[in-house]
Amino acid sequence: MYDLFFKKFRERIDLSPEEEIQIKSYLIPKKIRRRQYLLQEGDICKHIAFVEKGALREYSIEGGTEHIILFALEGWTVADLFSFLTGEPAVYTIDALEDSELVLISKSSHEELLQTQPKYETYMRLLITDAYIALQKRLTSSISLPIEERYKNFVETYPDIVQRVPQHMIASYMGLSPETLSRVRKKMLNQK
Amino acid sequence: MYDLFFKKFRERIDLSPEEEIQIKSYLIPKKIRRRQYLLQEGDICKHIAFVEKGALREYSIEGGTEHIILFALEGWTVADLFSFLTGEPAVYTIDALEDSELVLISKSSHEELLQTQPKYETYMRLLITDAYIALQKRLTSSISLPIEERYKNFVETYPDIVQRVPQHMIASYMGLSPETLSRVRKKMLNQK
DNA sequence: AAAAAGTCTTGACAAAAGTCAATGAAATGA
DNA sequence: TCATTTCATTGACTTTTGTCAAGACTTTTT
């Protein structure tokens, strides 16, 4: 339990056994079933969730259509960060695409860890920096590349997501209709 | 000098006079003229730049077209973060839209400050978190809202940018042709 | 095992956005 | 100040993408 969480942590930061025990004492394990909500729009986001196993998605709903802003597979962290930090109602919904195992950190634990465990703060800083860089790449490619290139990049960057997630959700993630992605893929096949 | 830099810092974190003096000793002032480059694609990004005065933009060039990923007015921070952190060549170009005054932090200063000034690390964590949340909002609206709504949001969120930056650059920031933005604005006026 | 729900593809058509070209106005720089 | 460059708008046309509907196939649930 918490294996992947600490594996990822130790990949970035040296942790003494004592520090690991300290941090571990704040973590909450949680299992969640396929299609089950972790967070619903309007709720207040009370936890950061690390995915030990399984797959989740985070999305907004506008005019009846879901717009996926994030897939979270093993090793990823997911939350409505704005809601978590401010206590405002969430604008995003999070649910499970597969039966999953999570590690939760509550808001109060998060704050206490930031105060008492310098390495936790450093790790959080690194995580959010990585997330920012990934998001910036995504945004750049969405405003500067043709769909075909964007899809190629996606497949290269996240081959595991392509395997495990329905295609119409990838279309949603890219801001496209499912039909358009289907046609782009067809065109790519014919070119080869 | 550095007034705005420390004003923003103190808005988020309590700083003792000693801490302020310590941090100040690492900062480098720099003036930059309109149209002058701060960073060119292919260079290695050696500094984080805080904008004391003026306006800059960060953009990529794809197939001869500029795609603006960030405007940085007074109080904002700009860098090719990936290049800065990894030492890889920059994929973005940064130049000045107006004569500007900057505060630079070099890579080695940044690393030393992270090690020696816990409040600097905390401040950096807060900055990057804010930047992440802003970017996520931008991405969400770009995949889920019609152009008109996106432009309205932009004007509401950044009225100062709308005042000071040419419209075709805002189109570029939104991933649109200048003609399309011009037409959307016309339509909005007629509706009122 | 059967029913139901979800998934992907395709065609026909509509709507949105881009491209190219021209014009006049405004800002910039010598 | 005057020439030059930049900027915003508009029209005509093309390309891209979305929408709606139907069909085949697969997966999930009962």
> Domain segments of chain A: what residues?
3-113
Report the gap between the CA of A131 and the closest CA in chain B (Å).
Answer: 7
CA distances from A190 to A182, A185, A187 (A): 13, 9, 5
Quick check: B180 contacting A, CB < 8 Å?
no
- DSSP β-bridge partners for residue A37: A95
Residue B192 has a pLDDT of 54
Mean local confidence (pLDDT), B57-83: 95
Confidence of residue A189 (pLDDT cuts 50, 70, 90): confident
Identify the CATH assignment for A3-113 out of 2.60.40.2480, 3.40.50.300, 3.20.20.80, 2.60.120.10: 2.60.120.10
pLDDT tens readout for residues B118-135: 999 999 999 999 999 999
pLDDT tens readout for residues B33-61: 999 999 999 999 999 999 999 999 999 99
Confidence of residue B143 (pLDDT cuts 50, 70, 90): confident
Closest CA to B34 of B101, B98, B102, B93: B98
Report the gap between the CA of A62 and the closest CA in chain B (Å).
Answer: 7
Quick check: A133 contacting B, CB < 8 Å?
yes
Closest CA to A109 of A84, A129, A92: A84
The three state secondary structure string of B53-86 is ECEEEEEEEECCEEEEEEEEECCCEECCHHHHHH
Q: Residues A15, A19, A20, A23: is their CA dihedral positive or negative? A: negative
CA distances from B133 to A3, A19, A104, B81 (A): 29, 29, 20, 16
- A-chain residues within 8 Å CB-CB of B181? none
Fold of B3-144: Jelly Rolls (2.60.120)
Closest CA to B120 of B26, B46, B23: B23
Confidence of residue B190 (pLDDT cuts 50, 70, 90): confident
Residues with CB under 7 A from strand C: A 166-168, 178-179, 181-183, 185-186; B 34-35, 146-147, 175-177, 179-180, 184
Average pLDDT, chain A: 96
> Is the Cβ pair B174, A128 closer than 8 Å?
no
Average pLDDT, chain B: 96
**Residue B190 structure tokens:** 């007629």
Higher-confidence residue of A74 and B190: namely A74
Residue A143 has a pLDDT of 87
> Is the Cβ pair B128, A133 closer than 8 Å?
no
Query: Which of A129, A138, A175 has its CB closest to that of B128?
Result: A129
- Pairwise CA distance, residues A183 & B73, whole Å: 41
Q: Tell me, what's the ipTM?
A: 0.94
> Is the Cβ pair B81, A132 closer than 8 Å?
yes
Residue A125 dihedral angles phi and psi, to the nearest 5°: -60, -45
**Which of these ranges, A41-50, A183-192, B132-141, has the smallest mean pLDDT?**
A183-192
